[in-house]
């Protein structure tokens, strides 16, 4: 482990039993017929200090399970989890001293306590030295822009404010590693932007921030590096730029065509595949909607017009955009658009 690695995960897997085994079955010592579901399957990751690392993937891909294993809330079936050099499986109590965790969002604060009272309580649970508590509370409240509402009950906060209070709570013990599980879920765009700015500042202050999200745009904007998880495995990892470059396409085109009455799309699609990769495809009545990934050298419009003419289709709209992390995600995960 290098000195700057704050979180190291090596060969980590987690399998859960699915189904129920009744008390009667246990007493009868009946054979265990429950199936085993592998939620995380041999993940290796290394996250450094001063880094925002994104775990992205569709729902049920294994992101939250991975974060819960790092947070010591779950024991891996096999593999090693280290937090700041501490074996988090063997010594969870010691590992927790380096961790700030935001899980469960706004529900994880006490609504009938004020923001400040919430922080006082959690400062004690985190064993923050008593003399330092007021200073730290003032600091995290200021960092999260909550000072002016610190003495209001949390029930009077907006969703975004409660989310910021959760983050303030996680920062109380000045952890090296911050684990944020879907931190922007339920927030409006302005709150999302503000939270992103705060996370970026945390990185500048030397924290290692590990974020899970299924929002690719968020991961693209926020993260220094990203790991795309699908079905419990890391299918791509790297900087957003490198992942996009590895896709070997530099543009995406959103195309809408009207097919001739009674016309099938199979041959048309097959012809389009000669010069572009179809990332997404859907049909609404006679309208065919496609998202195409385009290599640099392809001159799309003439070829699209020619294919449309050949199949008696009408080209309605074409929008060309730079490739995004979402395209990488769709290419990397088997059932595109599952997100």
Residues near another protein, by CB under 8 A: 14, 16-17, 39, 65, 68, 71-75, 93, 96-97, 99, 101, 103-105, 107-110, 112-113, 117, 120-130, 169
- Of 75 and 197, the one with the shorter C-beta distance to another protein is 75
Q: Smallest gap, in angstroms, from Cβ of residue 7 to another protein?
A: 15
Minimum distance from residue 182 beta carbon to another protein (Å): 13
SS3 call for 173: coil
Residue with smaller CB distance to another protein, 181 or 220:
181
Query: Judged by CB, which is closer to another protein: 15, or 200?
Result: 15
CB of 190 to another protein, least distance (A): 24
Euclidean distance between CA atoms 126 and 173, whole angstroms = 6
Q: Which helix (H) or strand (E) holds 143?
A: helix 133-143
For another protein, give the closer residue by CB, 95 or 202.
95
Shortest distance (Å) from residue 123 CB to another protein: 8
**C-beta of 119: minimal distance to another protein in Å?**
11
Of 230, 270, 223, 273, which is closest to residue 244 (Cα–Cα)? 223
Of 186 and 238, the one with the shorter C-beta distance to another protein is: 186
- Nearest residue (CB) to another protein, 85 versus 241: 85
The DSSP secondary structure of 260-301, one letter per residue, reads PTT--SHHHHHHHTTTSEEEEEEEETTEEEEEEEE-TT--HH
Q: How far is CA 270 from CA 273, 274, 316, in A?
A: 5, 7, 19
Give start and end residues of each alpha helix (H) in 172-272.
Answer: 189-204, 216-222, 240-246, 266-272
C-alpha to C-alpha distance for 38 and 43, rounded to whole angstroms = 12
**Least distance from C-beta 105 to another protein, angstroms?**
8
Closest CA to 47 of 196, 234, 184, 323: 234
Choose between 110 and 135: whose C-beta lies nearer to another protein: 110
Residue 101 CB, shortest distance to another protein, in Å, is 5
Q: What are phi and psi of 285, to 5 degrees?
A: 65, -120
N-term to C-term CA, the chain: 34
For another protein, give the closer residue by CB, 59 or 317.
59
Separation CA 143–CA 178 (nearest Å): 15
Nearest to 243 by CA among 220, 275, 267, 265: 220
* Min dist. Cβ of residue 43 to another protein (A): 16
């Amino acid at each position: 482990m290098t000195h700057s690695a704050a979180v190291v995960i090596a060969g980590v897997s987690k399998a859960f039993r699915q189904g129920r085994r009744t008390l009667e079955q246990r007493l009868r010592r009946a054979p265990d017929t429950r199936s085993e579901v592998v939620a995380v399957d041999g993940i290796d990751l290394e996250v450094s200090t001063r880094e925002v690392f994104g775990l992205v993937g569709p729902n049920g891909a294994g992101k939250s399970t991975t974060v819960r294993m790092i947070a010591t809330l779950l024991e891996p079936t096999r593999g090693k989890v280290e937090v700041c050099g501490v074996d988090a499986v063997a010594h969870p109590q010691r590992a927790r001293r380096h961790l700030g965790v935001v899980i469960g969002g706004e529900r994880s604060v006490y609504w009938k306590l004020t923001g400040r009272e919430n922080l006082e309580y959690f400062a004690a649970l985190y064993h923050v030295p008593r003399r330092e508590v007021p200073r730290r509370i003032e600091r995290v409240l200021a960092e999260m822009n909550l000072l002016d509402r610190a003495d209001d009950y949390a029930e009077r906060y907006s969703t975004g404010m409660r989310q910021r209070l959760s983050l303030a709570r996680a920062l109380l013990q000045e952890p090296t590693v911050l684990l944020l599980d879907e931190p922007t879920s339920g927030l409006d765009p302005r709150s999302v932007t503000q939270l992103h700015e705060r996370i970026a500042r945390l990185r500048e202050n030397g924290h290692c921030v590990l974020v899970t999200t299924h929002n690719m745009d968020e991961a693209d904007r926020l993260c220094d590096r990203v790991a795309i998880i699908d079905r419990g495995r890391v299918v791509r990892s790297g900087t957003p730029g490198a992942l996009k470059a590895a896709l070997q396409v530099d543009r995406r085109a959103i195309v809408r065509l009207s097919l001739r009455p009674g016309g099938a799309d199979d041959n048309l699609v097959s012809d389009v595949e000669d010069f572009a990769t179809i990332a997404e495809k859907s049909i609404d009545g006679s309208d065919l909607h496609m998202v195409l990934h385009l290599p640099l050298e392809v001159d799309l419009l003439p070829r699209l017009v020619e294919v449309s003419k050949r199949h008696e289709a009408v080209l309605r709209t074409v929008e060309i955009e730079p490739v995004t992390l979402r395209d990488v995600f769709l290419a990397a995960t088997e059932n595109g658009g599952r997100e």
